[in-house]
Structure 1
Amino acid sequence: MAVQTENGGAQTTTTTSKQSSSPKKVIIDTDPGIDDAMAIFFALKSPELDVIALTTIFGNVQTTTATVNALHLLEFAGREDIPVSEGSKTSLRGAVKDRIADFVHGKDGLGNTYPTLSDRKPIDTLAPDYLIQKVNEFPGEITIVALGPLTNLAKAVEMDPTFAKKVGQIVILGGAFQVNGNVNPAAEANIYGDPEAADIVFTCGADILVVGINITHQVYWTGKDLEDLGNSSSKFGKYLYKASHFYAKYHREAYDIDAIYLHDPATMVAAVDPSLMTYATGAVRVQQEGICRGLTLFNNTNKVWHDPTDWCGIPPVKVAVSVDSDRVASLLKERLTAP
């Protein structure tokens, strides 16, 4: 159920969660990534979700490494039954991805832990085709949780005009709404990775819920929380504690904090229990050129514009504007430390 209130002329929505009789079918589009590993493990330990596949994309690592890491994480979790579909190796218009966040996640994407990798291979079907296939197989039932650049989803939108209406929901980690970005003052990393793709997805008309770094910078684990993961009886907690040493070092150097931001896992929580955040509804566009390339612009006013603009007729999306950060961080810790 959605309860709407007025907030300075803008519409704010509080979503209350209702337990479904069956878990959501979820495809995770991911670029693992230490916090991707957190989000994937959390999803696998959440009875509210039925993870039916991972699709991979560049971002924290190159796409081929993302695929290798996705296969490894599923094997570690004992979920070799879940297929992995490899995604695009370049941005939507063909540019080679030139910014990989190895300084955040390590050369291997997993904190330079270099774990033993899986012998399993990805399926033959590429990610955009696989997304289309599953959305057509289960119309209205698939939730896609997008944790990296939106290239695979934009390709699916362009390839299948019915995709946006058939997907159940797209939950996106991306954007910086009324705060500075984390690549530069204008842009958040996932949107910066493929701004053209992001603009296509945000305006495609699907049911979209966006969690930006204005939210995820409020959700964190402290050094003590990480110690608790390492001291837990959970293999997931111990794994993430080890992988997070590199990630924590980056946060100390970049933000001067003894904590780590929980970007991807907080976004996965929104798929599990959206009531832990509130949302404003409106149109989102993405700046595609210049020094503000990758900037997410959000129009959630009720103003009627006098002249026709590129904002007219844009389908609305839901953007997270507040979060119960303590409950989100606690839920993540609780499930990832449980034996």
Structure 2
Amino acid sequence: MSDSGEQPRLLIIDTDPGVDDAMAILMAANSPEVQLLGITTVYGNVPTALATQNALRLLEMAGLCGGVMVAQGAARSLKAGTDVERIADFVHGADGFGDVGLPPPRGSHAADVSAAEFLVRSVNAHPGRVTILALAPLTNIAQALMLDPDLGDKWAELVILGGAFFTGGNVNPAAEANIFGDPDAADLVLGCTPRLRVLGLDVTQRCRMTAEELQAMRGVGKYGSFVYDISQFYLNFHRKWYDMDALYLHDPTAMAAVLRPDLFEWRAGAVRVACEGVTKGQTVMDASVRGFHGHNGWADRPQVQVALGVQQQQVVQLIRERLTAT
């Protein structure tokens, strides 16, 4: 039960852990407002099979292995064979956890069901109650929609970490990494339902944790030392590429949006994703007030909620609190 006495919201996290993915998952484990139903895994920060092992490691650490299912998902994008998947080991380390040498899971295993099937089954078993937090390329979500085209009308909400709407990308000048990982899947998902929120680099790059703040977490609460240890590789990446003694809190910021959407400023608009060419992966939002003469590729798309503002100090404080709570 949550502190307010209300039933916790049911949550599935689709993820590619990943240092900041680990933060988001551990936040969920330490948040009474949500009940984690399962984790679905996909490629991105690490290959899919390793993402599954990392998800199992995190659940063991949180003491949730018995009640939370892990379902392994897609290993390739929807255009497998024409695209080469981009694995961000240079950001998160070869093991996804900053190369700290964690042992394999002690005995837990992924379920004998695909991520897409698990998503469909879970949402249909609890119509209107399941929130999905998507922290990686959207291949699994797209495949679930192919299995059940009405799925987007049955989940409570889909919260997507991805995109760069009115700022530059982090893979290239146009694209953010998760959307770039499978732009065809992203364009499909962003056109399926108005029941979704999207947080891109416009807000996540404003939420940062300094090296000093990270050091202060060491030895505090359930997960402070673990987060400190796995984040050193990630922090050094930010020092080298962004010239800052801090790290971006992309995935935990998205988890914060599940818990406290009121800490963000949302704007409604239709979104398209460029699926080929030099701008592949670019997210383009129709934020126009007057509209356009004649039909265009945005006209028949649902209005989704895009985060364009954030109370970053409160978000970072919430992240620290959930990762260091006992």
> With structure 2 as the length reference, what TM-score do the two structures score?
0.96
Deviations 1:253-288 (A, max 9, x none): 010000010000000000001001010000010001
Which sits farther off after the overlay, 193-202 or 112-121?
112-121
Aligned residue number for residue 111 of structure 1: 98
Q: CA deviation at 1:301?
A: 1.9
Q: Distance in 2 between matches of 1:274 and 1:128?
A: 26
Aligned residue number for residue 75 of structure 2: 89
Q: CA deviation at 1:206?
A: 4.2
**Aligned counterparts, 1:139-158, within 5 A:** 139-158=127-146
| 8 Å CA contact 2:224, 2:323 repeated in 1 | yes
Q: CA deviation at 1:51?
A: 0.6
Which sits farther off after the overlay, 94-103 or 273-282?
94-103
Deviations 1:163-222 (A, max 9, x none): 111111000000011111000110000000000000000000140100101101000110
**What one-letter code is carried by the residue in structure 1 that aligns with 2:223?**
F
Aligned residue number for residue 19 of structure 2: 34
Asked whether 1:230 is paired with 2:215, we answer no
SS of the equivalent of 1:292 reads coil
Number of residue pairs the alignment of both structures matches:
321
Asked whether 1:210 is paired with 2:198, we answer yes
Q: CA deviation at 1:231?
A: 3.6
Q: Distance in 2 between matches of 1:312 and 1:338?
A: 46
**What one-letter code is carried by the residue in structure 1 that aligns with 2:73?**
G
Alignment partner for residue 323 of structure 1, among 293, 303, 310?
310
Asked whether 1:240 is paired with 2:232, we answer no
Alignment partner for residue 283 of structure 1, among 270, 277, 280?
270
**CA RMSD for the aligned pairs?**
1.3
Q: Distance in 1 between matches of 2:122 and 2:222?
A: 31
Aligned residue number for residue 179 of structure 2: 191
**Aligned counterparts, 1:44-63, within 5 A:** 44-63=29-48
Q: Distance in 1 between matches of 2:23 and 2:244?
A: 20
C-alpha spacing 1:135/1:20, structure 2 compared with 1 (3 Å) = farther
**What one-letter code is carried by the residue in structure 1 that aligns with 2:74?**
S
| 8 Å CA contact 1:146, 1:172 repeated in 2 | yes
The percentage of counterpart residues that share the same residue type is 45
Asked whether 1:128 is paired with 2:113, we answer no
SS of the equivalent of 1:225 reads helix
| 8 Å CA contact 1:167, 1:206 repeated in 2 | no
Q: Distance in 2 between matches of 1:27 and 1:97?
A: 27
**Aligned counterparts, 1:163-174, within 5 A:** 163-174=151-162
Q: CA deviation at 1:94?
A: 2.2
Q: Distance in 2 between matches of 1:115 and 1:298?
A: 41
Q: Distance in 2 between matches of 1:285 and 1:74?
A: 35
Alignment partner for residue 74 of structure 1, among 49, 59, 63?
59
Q: Distance in 2 between matches of 1:262 and 1:98?
A: 23
C-alpha spacing 1:317/1:168, structure 2 compared with 1 (3 Å) = same
Q: Distance in 2 between matches of 1:20 and 1:159?
A: 36
Q: Distance in 2 between matches of 1:98 and 1:21?
A: 42
Deviations 1:283-337 (A, max 9, x none): 0100011110000000022323222221121101000011010000011111211
Asked whether 1:161 is paired with 2:174, we answer no
Asked whether 1:177 is paired with 2:165, we answer yes
**Aligned counterparts, 1:307-318, within 5 A:** 307-318=294-305
SS of the equivalent of 1:301 reads coil
Q: Distance in 2 between matches of 1:303 and 1:20?
A: 44
Q: Distance in 1 between matches of 2:113 and 2:247?
A: 35
C-alpha spacing 1:20/1:212, structure 2 compared with 1 (3 Å) = farther
Which structure 1 segments of 5+ residues have no match? Answer: 1-18
**What one-letter code is carried by the residue in structure 2 that aligns with 1:179?**
T
| 8 Å CA contact 1:58, 1:97 repeated in 2 | no
Q: Distance in 1 between matches of 2:260 and 2:84?
A: 33
| 8 Å CA contact 1:97, 1:193 repeated in 2 | no
**What one-letter code is carried by the residue in structure 2 that aligns with 1:44?**
A
Q: Distance in 1 between matches of 2:78 and 2:179?
A: 12
Q: CA deviation at 1:20?
A: 7.4
Alignment partner for residue 263 of structure 1, among 250, 254, 266?
250
